[in-house]
């Protein structure tokens, strides 16, 4: 991953415990590093687990029951989807999977339904109309596949819902709402989401700081989507999109007020709470607000002359993929943070709330006069000369709250499953096409072993990584949780 933070690694001494090989399946994927694509997903209604692994010739479908026993296998040609990207999946009421293969410019989808019982497949073709300027994101929810798109010269979003070969389009209109920056200038909805691209956030899972530092974020909930706007340092503007009625409602949450002007602010939504951060070179303020009542239930602050009483890690600065550097004082941390896009990332797990405070910026340099990839239209993808490279900077530290929203010292907390996955990947060779699937009580790491030519699925749970003698390889204080935020991308 491009923002690796694996500065915590120790010498690997022995086998890892706290993870279990669930199964392995022999696959001969042709040139998997260049041609391979894979998805590991769950049918949320039956709780069957599927592996879709493809090379430049075939797609292999492995179906496992909820006990992770192989129950079906199907290999099919990819003659309809050569040189296409596997971008999503859905499951029909009959239990058969459908895969969505996008063209290079994402203007066209080939939709293939696979019938595992009869070992046949049926292709469909879908073209986005010319009035669609660009696709914002794709996601799966309740076994359906969704595409969020922006129509040209319109102040609304279009949500394409794909279900068993049918497509329903839902429109969310923002033309009735006003958008103003901190100095009162009016902005259009279309301009905002073009200059601050919408970032999809994984609910109930880890989100890297580069994602949480984005100023417009999307959260997919049950029958709703939330859009949070933090382009105005004085407030967080939130829109609730009802997926059943397409109604759009607005809420505004004031940012905690600094003594001097804000330089950077942001928010993060988690389980009906809004976490807000506001900072400049002199101080950092933090609020937790109840989403329904909009009341503040927790506040904290630090100034440049303080020490941080609620941190469970050192303060770090990282440039690109280089080794992170320690920041010795709060003053230096705030100086480094103020020119960045602030971010706060939250994960609630086992009656604890893990929080990363920090900031991130990424500069994208292009070889041609074209916008960064986040802003690319369909036509931009067709330019063969388009290339870019990036330079990034990040600062951060970690904290933990208990269920009463009290900061606690959590240095001895055992690593989470996602920490153990990060460590495993850092010391394991011959891994490609890795996917991370979160289930109710554990994670599955699936990957293709390029030497043994097997597709392997491993179960990871919370707990220490142990040596053969039962001693932990590392304790929590040696295993920075930020490594997970920086290196793991769960599906």
* Whole-number pLDDT of residue 4: 32
Q: Is residue 6 part of a domain?
A: no
Q: Is residue 121 part of a domain?
A: yes
Tokens (6 digits) for 127: 């073209």
Domain count, the chain: 1
Q: Is residue 53 part of a domain?
A: yes
Q: Is residue 52 part of a domain?
A: yes
E strand intervals along 188-254: 199-201, 216-221, 224-229, 235-242, 248-254
Indicate the SS3 state at residue 223: coil
Confidence (pTM): 0.87
- Asked if 404 and 425 count as a contact pair (C-beta separation under 8 A), the reply is no
Q: Is residue 116 part of a domain?
A: yes
Instruction: Write out the residue range of the structural domain in which residue 88 sits.
Output: 26-173
- CA 139, 140, 144, 145 dihedral sign is positive
* Whole-number pLDDT of residue 388: 66
Tokens (6 digits) for 177: 């709402």
DSSP secondary structure letter of residue 191 = H
pLDDT digits (tens, 9 = 90+) for 231-277: 999 999 999 999 999 999 999 999 999 999 999 999 999 999 999 99
Instruction: Choose among 467, 446, 448: nearest CA to 21.
Output: 446
How, if at all, do strands 296-303 and 283-290 pair? antiparallel
pLDDT digits (tens, 9 = 90+) for 183-234: 999 999 999 999 999 999 999 888 999 999 999 999 999 999 999 999 999 9
**Separation of alpha carbons 274 and 356, rounded Å:** 14
**Secondary structure element (H or E) that encloses residue 486, with its range:** helix 482-487
Q: Is residue 374 part of a domain?
A: no
User: Considering the chain, what percentage of its residues have pLDDT values greater than 70?
Assistant: 85
- Asked if 127 and 107 count as a contact pair (C-beta separation under 8 A), the reply is yes
Residues of the chain with pLDDT under 50: 1-18, 368-376, 381, 467-491
Q: Is residue 289 part of a domain?
A: no
- Asked if 164 and 144 count as a contact pair (C-beta separation under 8 A), the reply is no
- Asked if 335 and 345 count as a contact pair (C-beta separation under 8 A), the reply is no
Q: Is residue 328 part of a domain?
A: no
Mean residue pLDDT across the chain: 86
Instruction: Choose among 98, 125, 102: nearest CA to 112.
Output: 98
Chain centroid to Cα 214, Å, comes to 12
- Asked if 18 and 461 count as a contact pair (C-beta separation under 8 A), the reply is yes
């Amino acid at each position: 991953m491009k923002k690796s933070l694996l500065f915590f690694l120790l010498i690997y001494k022995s086998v890892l415990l706290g993870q279990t090989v669930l199964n392995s399946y022999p696959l001969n994927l042709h040139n998997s590093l260049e041609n391979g694509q894979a998805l590991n997903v769950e049918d949320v209604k039956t709780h069957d687990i599927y592996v879709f692994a493809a090379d430049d010739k075939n797609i292999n479908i492995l179906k496992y029951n909820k006990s992770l026993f192989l129950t079906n296998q199907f290999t099919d040609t990819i003659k309809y989807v050569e040189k296409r990207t596997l971008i999503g999946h859905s499951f029909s009421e009959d239990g058969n999977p459908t895969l969505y293969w996008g063209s290079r410019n994402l203007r066209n989808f080939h939709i293939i339904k696979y019938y595992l019982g009869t070992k046949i497949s049926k292709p469909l073709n879908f073209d986005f109309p010319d009035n669609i300027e660009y696709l914002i994101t794709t996601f799966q929810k309740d076994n359906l596949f969704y595409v969020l798109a922006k129509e040209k010269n319109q102040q609304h979003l279009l949500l394409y819902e794909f279900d068993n070969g049918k497509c329903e389009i839902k429109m969310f209109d923002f033309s009735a709402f006003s958008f103003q920056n901190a100095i009162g200038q009016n902005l259009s909805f279309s301009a905002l989401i073009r200059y601050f691209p919408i970032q999809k956030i994984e609910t109930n899972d880890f989100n890297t700081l580069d994602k949480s530092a984005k100023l417009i974020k999307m959260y997919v909930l049950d029958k709703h989507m939330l859009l949070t706007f933090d382009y105005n340092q004085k407030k967080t503007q939130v829109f609730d999109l009802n997926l059943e009625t397409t109604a759009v409602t607005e809420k505004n949450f004031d940012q905690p007020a600094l003594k001097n002007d804000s330089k950077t602010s942001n928010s993060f939504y988690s389980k009906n709470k809004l976490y807000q951060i506001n900072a400049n070179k002199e101080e950092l303020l933090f609020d937790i607000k109840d989403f329904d009542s909009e009341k503040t239930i927790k506040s904290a602050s630090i100034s440049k002359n303080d020490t941080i009483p609620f941190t469970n890690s050192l303060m770090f600065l990282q440039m690109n993929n280089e080794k992170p550097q320690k920041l010795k004082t709060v003053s230096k941390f705030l100086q480094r943070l103020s020119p960045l896009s602030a971010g706060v990332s939250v994960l609630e797990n086992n009656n604890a709330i893990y929080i990363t405070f920090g900031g991130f910026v990424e500069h994208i340099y292009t070889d041609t006069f074209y916008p960064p990839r986040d802003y690319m239209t369909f036509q931009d993808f067709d330019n063969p000369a388009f290339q870019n490279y990036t330079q990034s900077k990040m600062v951060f530290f970690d904290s933990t709250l208990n269920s009463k929203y009290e900061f606690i010292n959590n240095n001895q907390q055992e690593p989470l499953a996602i920490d153990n996955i990060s460590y495993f990947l850092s010391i394991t060779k011959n891994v490609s096409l890795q996917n991370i699937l979160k289930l109710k009580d554990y994670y599955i790491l699936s990957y293709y072993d390029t030497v043994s030519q097997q597709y392997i699925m491993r179960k990871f749970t919370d707990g220490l990584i142990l040596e053969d003698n039962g001693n932990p390889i590392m304790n929590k204080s040696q295993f920075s949780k930020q490594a997970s935020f920086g290196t793991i991308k769960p599906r």
